[in-house]
Amino acid sequence: MAILRCPHCQFLKEVNNQHLGKIASCPNCKQSAKVVDTIKLVKTAIEKFQQAHEQNKKLKQDKIELQAQLDQFVSITQADLDIPTDLKQGYAFENQNYAAVFNDFQPIVQWFKKWDIEIQPNAAASDISGYFDEVAVMLGDNLILLDNLLDGIRYRQRKGYDKFTIQLNDYNKADRKIIQKFCQMAYECAFFSKYHHNKGKNSIFLQLSGAPQIQNFFNGDWLEWYGLMKVATFLMAKEQKFTCLRNSTIKFAAKNAQNELDIFFLINDKQPLWIECKTGEFRDSINKYQTLRKCLNIDPNYTILLVSGLDDEKAVAMSSMFKLTVVNEKTLLNHLSRLFE
């Protein structure tokens, strides 16, 4: 059969083959229309549909590849330029050997004295002239990616092993770049005794350090350094005057008891901010921190339990259950932002 196909109103009608190739008036719009072969018309329509389908597939694939290239470019650029992953939060003390705010302890000493509490400042624990702060910030900013590496280091330290091989084939190109960057940086800062990137096997060989301070760093001290530097950077960005201490001891004269504080800030000489850091089990310490918070008369919003790797929803739920604030390394500064709005 032949078909009368109107190019103006898309009207279609089957007609006898004797009209094939002729021009006729469209019954619908009265415009001129040509009678064409049905099979030829169907073949043409199918070809055009297939061409459009292939073009659509190519556009989708191009979009996926372009997005992947963009993501890879952003990740590699951050690693190559030594920019922390969380660029908005920043790090004000990178590559600096000295910062006055880490050496002025008297405002904190006087604040505790007002409550009849003696504090013993640990100046060495807040000394940022070494590399603990830089390595901690890079580790914490990329903890989701580097957590397996951190677990592997801690496991070998417990077992007395000093060699560690990382297979990079298990990661995508952008993640491999960050892992390699961290390992190389940590080696250059003497956190590893040896570092070798085997390009042929696409692996990294590490020899772990036996120095106690390095082992303590990977066992949990890194989170204290991370919290200290992130909060200090945040307060500087907010133009808040502050002094701070890490890993110091307080003594209650009346109770003849003492406690250790992981991180303590005094903001504008009056607002205390106390942060305890946990990289492992923390639930058994919650009540102790609640009790100490009450003795120190610190607002629950300014009493923070920083737990690395904790699920966001669990952190929120526990904050509502107890008289302190539970956060992880990703939500720490989000909570501070709400406090200082």
Res 4 pLDDT > 70: no
Assess if residue 21 is contained within a domain.
yes
Bigger pLDDT: 20 vs 233 = 233
Q: In 189-311, which ranges are continuous DSSP H helix?
A: 212-216, 222-237, 286-296
| Shared domain check, 119 and 55 | no
Is 303 domain-assigned?
yes
The pLDDT of residue 129 is 83
Residue 87 class from Cβ within 10 Å (0-12 exposed, 13-18 middle, 19+ buried)? exposed
- Evaluate if residue 157 carries a pLDDT over 60: yes
Number of domains within the chain: 2
pLDDT digits (tens, 9 = 90+) for 270-290: 999 999 999 999 999 999 999
Rg (Cα) of the chain, in Å, rounded? 33
Q: What confidence score (pLDDT) does residue 205 get?
A: 97
Residue 128: what pLDDT?
85
Domain range for 30: 1-81
Query: Of 16 and 217, which is predicted with more confidence?
Result: 217
Q: Model pTM?
A: 0.72
Same domain? For 335 and 229 the reply is yes
User: What's residue 88's pLDDT?
Assistant: 36
Answer whether residue 91 is part of any domain.
no
Give the pLDDT of residue 43. 73
Say what the pLDDT of residue 65 is. 62
The answer for residues whose C-beta is within 8 angstroms of residue 323's C-beta and 6 or more apart is 290, 293, 294, 300, 303
Query: Can you give the pLDDT at residue 182?
Result: 96
Q: CA–CA separation, 150 vs 132, rounded Å? A: 15
| Opening angle at CA 207, ends 203 and 212, nearest 5 | 140
247, 318: one domain = yes
Tell whether 10 and 45 lie within a shared domain.
yes
CATH classification at residue 128: 3.40.1350.10
pLDDT at 232 over 60: yes
> Are the beta carbons of 273 and 267 closer than 8 angstroms?
yes
Same domain, 69 and 105: no
- C-alpha 100/C-alpha 109 separation (Å) is 16
63-87 tens-digit pLDDT? 666 555 555 544 444 444 343 333 3
| Residue of higher predicted confidence among 300 and 127 | 300
Task: Verify that 281 and 232 share a domain, yes or no.
Answer: yes
Least confident of 32-46, 59-73, 189-203, 327-341: 59-73
Q: Report yes or no: 184 and 178 within 8 Å, Cβ to Cβ.
A: no
Give me the mean pLDDT over the 198-222 stretch.
96
Q: To the nearest whole percent, how much of the chain has pLDDT over 70?
A: 83
Q: Could you tell me if 145 and 62 lie in one domain?
A: no
- At residue 69, what is the residue type? Q
Q: At residue 100, does pLDDT exceed 70?
A: no
The residue out of 81, 108, 136 marking a domain boundary is 81
Same domain, 4 and 127: no
Mean pLDDT within 148-156: 95
Q: Judge if 64 and 129 occupy the same domain.
A: no
**Lowest-pLDDT range of 78-87, 104-113, 170-179:** 78-87
- Cα 57–chain centre separation: 33
Determine, yes or no, domain membership for 105: yes
- 161, pLDDT greater than 70: yes
Does some domain include residue 1? yes
Q: Do 252 and 154 belong together in one domain?
A: yes
Residue 225 lies in a domain: yes
Residues 63 and 107 in one domain: no
pLDDT at position 284 = 95
Check whether residue 242 and residue 324 sit in a common domain.
Answer: yes
Across 75-84, 91-100, 113-122, 314-323, the highest mean pLDDT is recorded for 314-323
